Amino acid sequence: MVAKAKKKKKRVSSKKKSKSVKASKAKSTKTKKVTAKKTSKAKSAKTAQKTKTAKTTKKTTTTKRTKTTKMKMVYYFGAGKAEGHKEDKYLLGGKGKGLADMTHAKIPVPPGFTITTDVCREYYDNNMQAPDGLDDQIKKAMTKLEKDTGMKFGDPENPLLVSVRSGAAFSMPGMMDTVLNLGLNAETLKGLIKKTDNERFGYDNYRRFIAMFGNVVLGIDKDIFEDVITRKKKQRKIRQDTSLSVDDFKSIIKSFKRIVKDKSGEEFPEDPWQQLEMSRDAVFRSWNNPRAITYRKLNELPGDLGTAVNIQTMVYGNMGDTSATGVGFTRNPASGDKEFYGEYLTNAQGEDVVAGTRTPKPIVELKKEMPSVYKQLVDITGKLEKFYKDVQDFEFTIQEGKLYMLQTRAGKRTTPAAVKIAVDMVGEKLIKKEEALMRIMPKDLDQLLHPRIDPKAKYDVVATGLTASPGAACGKVIFTADQAVEANENGEKVILVRTETNPDDIHGMFAAEGILTSRGGMTSHAAVVARGMGKPCVAGCEDVRVYESQRQFSIGTLIVKEGDMITINGTTGEVMLGQIPTIEPELTGEFGEFMKWADEYRSIGVRTNADTPNDAATARKFGAEGIGLCRTEHMFFAEDRLAVVQQMILADTTAERQAALDKLMPFQKSDFVGIFKAMEGLPVTIRTLDPPLHEFLPNADEVKAKIKKLVDDGADEEKIGKQEKILARIQDLHEQNPMLGHRGCRLGITFPEITEMQVRAIIKAACELSKKGKKVYPEIMIPLVGNVKELENQKEVVVRVAEEVIRKMKAKVQYKVGTMIEVPRAALTADEVASQADFFSFGTNDLTQMTMGFSRDDAGKFLRYYIDKGIFVKDPFVSLDQDGVGQLVQMGTEKGRSVNEDLKVGICGEHGGDPASIEFCYKTGLNYVSCSPFRVPIARLSAAQAVIKEKQEKQKTGKSYTTA
Amino acid sequence: MVAKAKKKKKRVSSKKKSKSVKASKAKSTKTKKVTAKKTSKAKSAKTAQKTKTAKTTKKTTTTKRTKTTKMKMVYYFGAGKAEGHKEDKYLLGGKGKGLADMTHAKIPVPPGFTITTDVCREYYDNNMQAPDGLDDQIKKAMTKLEKDTGMKFGDPENPLLVSVRSGAAFSMPGMMDTVLNLGLNAETLKGLIKKTDNERFGYDNYRRFIAMFGNVVLGIDKDIFEDVITRKKKQRKIRQDTSLSVDDFKSIIKSFKRIVKDKSGEEFPEDPWQQLEMSRDAVFRSWNNPRAITYRKLNELPGDLGTAVNIQTMVYGNMGDTSATGVGFTRNPASGDKEFYGEYLTNAQGEDVVAGTRTPKPIVELKKEMPSVYKQLVDITGKLEKFYKDVQDFEFTIQEGKLYMLQTRAGKRTTPAAVKIAVDMVGEKLIKKEEALMRIMPKDLDQLLHPRIDPKAKYDVVATGLTASPGAACGKVIFTADQAVEANENGEKVILVRTETNPDDIHGMFAAEGILTSRGGMTSHAAVVARGMGKPCVAGCEDVRVYESQRQFSIGTLIVKEGDMITINGTTGEVMLGQIPTIEPELTGEFGEFMKWADEYRSIGVRTNADTPNDAATARKFGAEGIGLCRTEHMFFAEDRLAVVQQMILADTTAERQAALDKLMPFQKSDFVGIFKAMEGLPVTIRTLDPPLHEFLPNADEVKAKIKKLVDDGADEEKIGKQEKILARIQDLHEQNPMLGHRGCRLGITFPEITEMQVRAIIKAACELSKKGKKVYPEIMIPLVGNVKELENQKEVVVRVAEEVIRKMKAKVQYKVGTMIEVPRAALTADEVASQADFFSFGTNDLTQMTMGFSRDDAGKFLRYYIDKGIFVKDPFVSLDQDGVGQLVQMGTEKGRSVNEDLKVGICGEHGGDPASIEFCYKTGLNYVSCSPFRVPIARLSAAQAVIKEKQEKQKTGKSYTTA
């Protein structure tokens, strides 16, 4: 036994070695610094993937197979000893690991053994065949189990019955398969009846087993079995399964066996060993059932870890009133309150609790019913929580007064509960702040930042769409942006409902409480803009049909009219009629405490992308330390300004253009005054005009229609001529590829008067406030620079105008001039560019588009296909492509600092709010990330986690998996 | 004197040092390998530019000024000694250097002195003010000149008259200004008359001087002075200037002086020193006149070198029959034949020869007229050719039997002549092959590749002029430069017909196919410029009378109107009506020999971009060593195929699409058979389908119009429905940024059946030929890869289909699979991509667009502006942006080879035919460049020059300018 354990250890470590060799090889092909610091989880997932890719040829598999015969594939637990208590959950699965741990801790667990996840991977690699030697190891373990239980597998007199359960490294509740009561057949059934002296119990278990086996192992539809029972109950005129008699069961079992033969072509296997082998393989196969695949995709879990199989002695909660079964949590998983929480059923099997056919009792009642067992349960689970230092979600069975723990695992919880529990556990000195910070997935914080549906509220969902932007909102249904604005001005709360939104709707989206669209995905205009604004949005709600002209929408036969009140929940994608009560978010209490800790740990700054004083204030409330990107063009779209902007664009001469700009200046100045005020004392990075001018002009078809109408109406020449001029300019400004056209600094260079106006507005605003004693730190940012000379050109304009304004206003304002790095060439020549820049801000949206060669607008046609096919692991517009685009970020930072060591470097693309990208930015040495206001807390936590992860990586010696 | 020389030397070397420091600093900010190897010329140009940029602040200029007072600014030559004979042409200009060299070699040169180009640059840097100390140095030089000539500047008795001429480092014939007879005024005129005993000569010179000074220095229109003379001649009823009397001249001089006062507001300056100062500055200013700027732009000459000013004692060829003036070449500059070549006029001034007002005599006649002078001239020019090891273009004046050399410089020549001369000079052991190869600008080879009149063609010659620039051209007659440009933009081929051309016509000459003039000799403006441009030109065709205002010309009674087609043959001087057939050039004779030498030197391969068998054959004739890019989509546009392609695009199912593809396959296969045949034995790289599918569909507006018409015509539903389906698909396929859309391998991945069809066609074609014993080397290239998995995906398709076809056809075909590197990410992750590729081909068109972030289609709006403003030095679509895009080429090559050392790397963008880019590719270690067929010889020579330049760089020690 000792020798065996050693052997196993050796194997594992040599395997780990070969893994790490592969990983380091992979690393060498990438930028070193970053990859080297990837978390072990990511690494292992990646390595596993690579391994899989490498294993496509027959030869490799054969070599591997030879090895597996020597491999330890089965880990026994029972009688207070567990072979696997030093192994990790990646090998044993979460359930197997828990059982081993509990056994080792002398907690009563029905004995059994675990077949490792390695075996599952082998099974897949080996053309769905169990590896050689596995059967021997199982037989040996079974022999031990028989010894420890005093029963015998397949023995007609004293049959040992077992459960066969899946158990992957990550909990995937209900996704994979389980077979109970395995080992029963016509012979052993007799032994069971004799032993329990309960004929009905025996037959009940047997019929359950055949149906479960038929379904799980043989793939026969569950309903076919259910139908037999339903028919029997009808025939017998009874309602409950509990009313079925032994004879009923006998007849049902006959039918079940016939069904098995008809559907599978084989007799139901009576041989327990055959049952075991078939069930084991079925569990392996269930790893890749469609449910499981979908679940992993949704939860971003790796697809190649495989599942372990746990074979465990059956215990029964349905052996009378001294038997029971239940589930529970060591703390309240919804609120996080520290209370023993759970429910149970007397005289029932586990599936009865989960199935909800009988209403379970709250666990406190167990205290009265079985006080000593209750105490034992509280003691054990308390011990488990302390051992695992986390809330435990446990399953137990009481068989004739004896408590058995069947499972323990980290409990799933809501984000509010997760935060409360983490903070409480720090208070209880159970975990350290670091651990608390690592417990929350940053993106989950989003749930805490938006109004949410009151958990106590009761409501009906009438339609469900995509969770495009989180939070709940109620309001009157409205169908156009203009009406939304109007209603908003009248103090009404509205939900903007549209088939899909477009840039013309922005003012309406802004005025609305929330947005509901019937078309478009997670990256549709509505979704992207709503997220940016922090507005709840349900997008792509396909049941909804919008009839704008009739001012109503339908869901099936339901008609919702303009002015009707609805509630949408962007966190769940749900749409409800009427006003459902919501609760407002607050950054106080445990959440506030938690975020304070995050700030203690993080070293990278967090700014926000905000174009309005309102956004700026929200972001500041969420902890933003300045503005990383203020887009000035959004300020041009307001109706009173757009006309002047168009005047500027249509100008024939510089003088005309200047006149229009002079009109715009005061607007811009007041925008900046508002923003500077909201961010007083903090830096505000303002980008000069970026989009191509045609974005400010109407659509050509609209103008054509207008001209046609004017002509038809016999309007005068001048009016027609004006529209014709607009049309001509639209056609003149038309671009094949606007993304790669006349925009960014190219505008400011060809029309320096635009930059001049903007700088004048910024610096005037700053001077005004500065003279009132307010602290303002404007940072003027030039977009789309690809060549240092472009920056040089625009910097000259900025400095000239700024100095002039400051001199004239006799104010003291310190300003910085920097540039976006969003054109690949800027990153490649960052050493040149940095000579003219006080700061860099990586515009990773454009940088991604240009580096990867596809635009966000157009990539839809193949991006989903690419992700499905595994060509991309993630959407590169959501999470930074670290291997490609990341290289440019790194290069740009290094080269920039090589000539300008004080260069401040940030990121202001959508990636500034993505945890993985933030970790990358931290490792690359950026000074700050900038993200939309509602992502600020996410960024703060991500930034803290990046520091902690790095620290943990450093501390780790030899361990390749975290066991937390 | 010795001390001075030393001081000067020190200054120069320290200046050079500071330049090289700057250059190396600049280098450090770029990729080292490449920049470090730049030619010294490019480096100096670049450095100069940098210096200029740096000199924007007042402070720098002031510091500089202080320095210049100590600088040697004036170099004397005369009496067999020349201060500047060790200096280079960058300091003295070409003319100044030639004068110094000749003086040093005891060749009779009128003495004088040269003001350096440094002074010109100072003049510009110093707000158009001559630097301190210059006047002193000029005065000293003048004193020496007075001593050497025995005359005195401004002396009424024995006046020293001088010419003031520009002279830049690079010859810019006729672009800058000259003032002759300077020093004349009412007083010195008397001395001149007395000295020459020729009153008419004196007054003639005086009136010429006033007009020239008025025009060049004071900017008064030439024609105003001409008009006075014309009126005088009318009044006196005479035709020739030579018939004007002394009194006429006196009256003309009076008028001229009045014009000067009226137009300039000042009296004509009588003070010779003032004349000198003003003329000197005018020459400086002429460096930046519009003609000169255009010329430099056309010839890609740096704009910041400045010009030197040569002040030289006047000699006169118009002092009677023993005086003459002429120009000549040591070899025939049109054919390259080794013959003494030139023309002269007895009793004339230089300007008379150039202006073409009198038809000069061939130089052989001088042998009869003045045999000893002729012999002396042949001797001297022979010596000069040997000294400079190059054909000399010289100017001389014979003043009363005494020969003076006024200028010698490398003679401009046609490219055929240049090749012949270079090859001959190697034969004469005057120069080495390396030198011969360096003599030809690669792009000039283009001239050898254009059509000539088919010798079998029968045609009537309607007029004959001078063979000013060889080659044949047909086009419509056009009379003004602006119209030529306009016609050219409309895609029309035109012949520019003018009485004579002047520098204002350059843009029109560039736009025309050829030039025909009725006046002017072999050295007339038209002839010189046309040869430089490689345009056919027939000059001095005296039978032609041009009536520009009537838009026609006559030859005798024959009238040719604007828009009529004519053909000119610059090789024979012939003019024909209509379009005469022409034939393609061949690479034989000296040209063949020359190209063979280029191949001996070059190490990088040269392939061609060819989509048809015809192009492939042309390219092979020009020396292409395979196809580097065969675009398959061009094959889809033929009318019979486009319909099938559209069928494929409109297919609703994969089966429908497959059916259309099955129809296309035989077309594609036969295309490839043709191409493989044309390139037998050489590799053929074929790119799979690249453009977005909507490119194959009609324009949406067209289809809309069609539908409207069908509806209006009451066509049946089916017909309308078909068009509506097309329209729907067009709208469906519409992309915001097609450049960044669903194209390249993204098509092949989402529609693998397209790739399958193409591979099947390629490999079938290859197998067919292979079975006939032909050698074919297909290389299948996947476009637009940005991620190795894309290549993996497509490679799987290629290999699967190829192996299947080869197996089925039982043929032996070796094929390669590789990828374009045109997405920045592909270059950044080239180590990953290379693991799946046999070869890389840099698609630098797209790579430039994506790396710089602008599309070629849309950049027009700002690119010209950028180049004008100096933000870009060159159009990055013409010459590779080595600092930015070049980094990716380098990185891609290095990373690719790091995992696949046999990786074949080429380039197939437009840059593959650009000499500077080819040099870069050579230095980066690429295996080959691929360019359009007509650029193949250019690429071969560029590749050879790159090797030679590198060798020369290595040999160079301390020399920072080449003196060749």
Q: What is the largest CA-CA distance in chain A?
A: 106
Note which residues in 836-855 of chain A have CB less than 8 A from chain B: 846, 849-855
Q: pLDDT by residue (tens digit) across A709-738?
A: 999 999 899 999 999 999 999 988 999 899
- The average pLDDT across A907-934 equals 95
From the list A30, A741, A749, which residue is nearest B855 (CB)? A741
Query: Does residue A568 register a pLDDT over 50?
Result: yes
Interface test with A, best of B737, B747, B792 (most A CBs within 10 A): B737
From the list A829, A851, A862, which residue is nearest B883 (CB)? A829
- What's the CA angle centered on A718, arms A712 and A719, to 5 degrees? 50
Indicate yes or no: CB of B746 within 8 angstroms of CB of A823. Answer: no
Looking at beta carbons, which residues of chain A come within 8 Å of B787?
852, 871-872, 884
- The average pLDDT across A903-911 equals 94
- Is A866 part of the contact surface with chain B (CB cutoff 8 Å)? yes
Query: Does residue A422 register a pLDDT over 90?
Result: yes
Q: Which residues, including other chains, have CB under 8 Å from residue B21's CB and lie 6 or more apart?
A: none
User: So which residues of A are the catalytic ones?
Assistant: 525, 908
Please give the pLDDT value at position A53: 40
For tokens 């050829």, the residue is B514
Query: Does residue B21 register a pLDDT over 70?
Result: no
Looking at beta carbons, which residues of chain A come within 8 Å of B740?
737, 739-740, 849-850, 853-855, 858-859
Share of chain A above pLDDT 70, in %: 91
- Is A860 part of the contact surface with chain B (CB cutoff 8 Å)? no
Please give the pLDDT value at position A331: 94
Which has more pLDDT, B927 or B874?
A: B927
- The average pLDDT across A48-67 equals 40
Query: Does residue A773 register a pLDDT over 60?
Result: yes
* Dihedral angle computed from the Cα positions of residues B168, B170, B175 and B179, in that order, rounded to the nearest 10 degrees: 30
Looking at beta carbons, which residues of chain B come within 8 Å of A870?
789
Indicate yes or no: CB of B851 within 8 angstroms of CB of A850. Answer: yes
Q: pLDDT by residue (tens digit) across A153-192?
A: 999 999 999 999 999 998 777 677 889 999 999 999 999 9
Which has more pLDDT, A290 or A895?
A: A895
Please give the pLDDT value at position B534: 65
From the list A750, A850, A888, which residue is nearest B853 (CB)? A850
Please give the pLDDT value at position B523: 66
Please give the pLDDT value at position A799: 98
Residue B544: in which H helix or E strand, if any?
Answer: strand B544-547
Query: Residues A923, A857: contact at Cβ < 8 Å?
Result: no
Q: By CA distance, what is B823's nearest residue in A?
A: A853
Question: Which three-class secondary structure state does DSSP give residue B183?
Answer: coil
Please give the pLDDT value at position A302: 85
Q: How far apart are CA B77 and CA B113, in angstroms?
A: 6
**A:B CB pairs within 8 Å:** 187
Q: In terms of Cα–Cα distance, which of B167, B206, B164, B191 is closest to B313?
A: B164
- The average pLDDT across B767-778 equals 97
Give whichever of A342-356, A939-953, B296-310, B441-455 has the largest mean pLDDT. A939-953
Looking at beta carbons, which residues of chain B come within 8 Å of A835?
29
Q: Which residues, including other chains, have CB under 8 Å from residue A26's CB and lie 6 or more apart?
A: A35, A46, A47, A50
Please give the pLDDT value at position B455: 65
The strand pairing partners of B114, in sequence order, are: B75, B310
Looking at beta carbons, which residues of chain A come within 8 Å of B870?
789
Q: Pick the catalytic residue: B908, B911, B921, B931?
A: B908
Indicate yes or no: CB of B853 within 8 angstroms of CB of A823. Answer: yes
- Is B752 part of the contact surface with chain A (CB cutoff 8 Å)? no
Runs of H (alpha helix) within A561-716: 589-601, 613-621, 639-650, 654-678, 700-712
Query: Does residue A346 register a pLDDT over 50?
Result: yes
Q: What tokens does B11 get?
A: 């200054």
B474 is catalytic: no
The strand pairing partners of A114, in sequence order, are: A75, A310
Query: Does residue B826 register a pLDDT over 80?
Result: yes
Query: Residues A213, A275: contact at Cβ < 8 Å?
Result: yes
Q: pLDDT by residue (tens digit) across B414-437?
A: 788 899 999 999 999 999 999 999
Please give the pLDDT value at position B61: 38
Low-confidence winner among A177-191, B17-31, B864-878 (lowest mean pLDDT): B17-31
Share of chain A above pLDDT 90, in %: 68
Q: pLDDT by residue (tens digit) across B380-398?
A: 999 999 999 999 999 999 9
Please give the pLDDT value at position B222: 86
Q: How far apart are CA B709 and CA B707, in angstroms?
A: 5
Low-confidence winner among A234-248, A376-390, B940-954 (lowest mean pLDDT): A234-248
Region at B841 (left for phi over 0; alpha for psi -120 to 50; beta for the rest): beta
Q: How far apart are CA B391 and CA B375, in angstroms?
A: 18
Q: pLDDT by residue (tens digit) across B596-650?
A: 999 999 999 999 999 989 889 989 999 999 999 999 987 887 777 889 999 999 9
From the list A29, A738, A750, which residue is nearest B832 (CB)? A29
- Is A719 part of the contact surface with chain B (CB cutoff 8 Å)? no
Please give the pLDDT value at position A239: 83
Note which residues in 817-836 of chain A have CB less than 8 A from chain B: 822-825, 828-829, 831-832, 835
- Is B807 part of the contact surface with chain A (CB cutoff 8 Å)? no
Please give the pLDDT value at position B788: 97
Indicate yes or no: CB of B828 within 8 angstroms of CB of A872. Answer: no
Q: What tokens does A767 get?
A: 């001077």
From the list A828, A853, A870, which residue is nearest B887 (CB)? A828
Query: Residues B417, B334: contact at Cβ < 8 Å?
Result: yes
Question: What is the nearest CA distance from B862 to chain A, expressed in angstroms?
Answer: 7
Residue B365: in which H helix or E strand, if any?
Answer: helix B364-369
Q: What tokens does A622 get?
A: 């969420």
The rounded mean pLDDT for chain B is 87
Please give the pLDDT value at position A355: 58
Query: Residues B461, B523: contact at Cβ < 8 Å?
Result: no
Q: pLDDT by residue (tens digit) across A808-841?
A: 999 999 999 999 999 999 999 999 999 999 999 9
Query: Does residue A37 register a pLDDT over 60?
Result: no
> Beta strand pairing status for B341-346 and B361-362?
antiparallel
The rounded mean pLDDT for chain A is 88
Indicate yes or no: CB of A855 within 8 angstroms of CB of B736. Answer: yes
Indicate yes or no: CB of B853 within 8 angstroms of CB of A822. Answer: yes
From the list B739, B746, B790, which residue is nearest A737 (CB)? B739
ipTM: 0.79
Global model pTM greater than 0.90: no
- Is A54 part of the contact surface with chain B (CB cutoff 8 Å)? no
How would you class A642 by CB atoms within 10 Å of its CB: exposed for 0-12, middle for 13-18, buried for 19 or more? middle
Query: Does residue B192 register a pLDDT over 90?
Result: yes
Looking at beta carbons, which residues of chain B come within 8 Å of A865?
749-750
Question: Which three-class secondary structure state does DSSP give residue B638?
Answer: coil
> Beta strand pairing status for A544-547 and A537-539?
unpaired
Which has more pLDDT, A17 or B496?
A: B496
Query: Does residue A539 register a pLDDT over 60?
Result: yes
- Is B881 part of the contact surface with chain A (CB cutoff 8 Å)? yes
- Across A117-131, b (16+ Cβ under 10 Å) vs e yields bbbbbbbbbbeeebb
- The average pLDDT across B914-920 equals 96
Q: By CA distance, what is A888's nearest residue in B?
A: B828
Low-confidence winner among A78-87, A148-157, A178-187, B772-781 (lowest mean pLDDT): A78-87
Query: Residues A549, A559: contact at Cβ < 8 Å?
Result: no
Q: How far apart are CA A513 and CA A509, in angstroms?
A: 8
Please give the pLDDT value at position A222: 86
Please give the pLDDT value at position A523: 64
Interface test with A, best of B858, B865, B874, B897 (most A CBs within 10 A): B858
Please give the pLDDT value at position B357: 61
Which has more pLDDT, A540 or B584?
A: A540
Q: How far apart are CA B236 and CA B228, in angstroms?
A: 12
Query: Does residue A69 register a pLDDT over 80?
Result: no
DSSP letter (8 states) at residue B175: T
Question: Which three-class secondary structure state does DSSP give residue B905?
Answer: strand
Q: pLDDT by residue (tens digit) across A613-641?
A: 999 999 999 999 999 999 998 888 877 88
Question: What is the nearest CA distance from A860 to chain B, expressed in angstroms?
Answer: 9
Interface test with B, best of A854, A862, A866, A887 (most B CBs within 10 A): A854
Query: Does residue B52 register a pLDDT over 60?
Result: no
**Residue B922 CB: number of other CB atoms within 10 A?**
22
Indicate yes or no: CB of B746 within 8 angstroms of CB of A872. Answer: no
Q: pLDDT by residue (tens digit) across A869-890?
A: 889 988 999 999 999 999 999 9
Secondary structure of A455-524 as H, E, C letters: CCCCCCEEEECEEEECCEEEEEEECCHHHHHHHHHCCCCEEEEECCCCHHHHHHHHHCCEEEECCCCCCC
- Is A890 part of the contact surface with chain B (CB cutoff 8 Å)? no
Please give the pLDDT value at position B6: 42
Q: How far apart are CA A88 and CA A84, in angstroms?
A: 8
C-alpha dist (Å) from residue A832 to A827, A835, A899, A927, B884: 10, 6, 8, 20, 11
- What's the CA angle centered on B849, arms B533 and B891, to 5 degrees? 100
Q: Which residues, including other chains, have CB under 8 Å from residue B935's CB and lie 6 or more apart?
A: B912, B913
Indicate yes or no: CB of B740 within 8 angstroms of CB of A853. Answer: yes
Please give the pLDDT value at position B43: 40
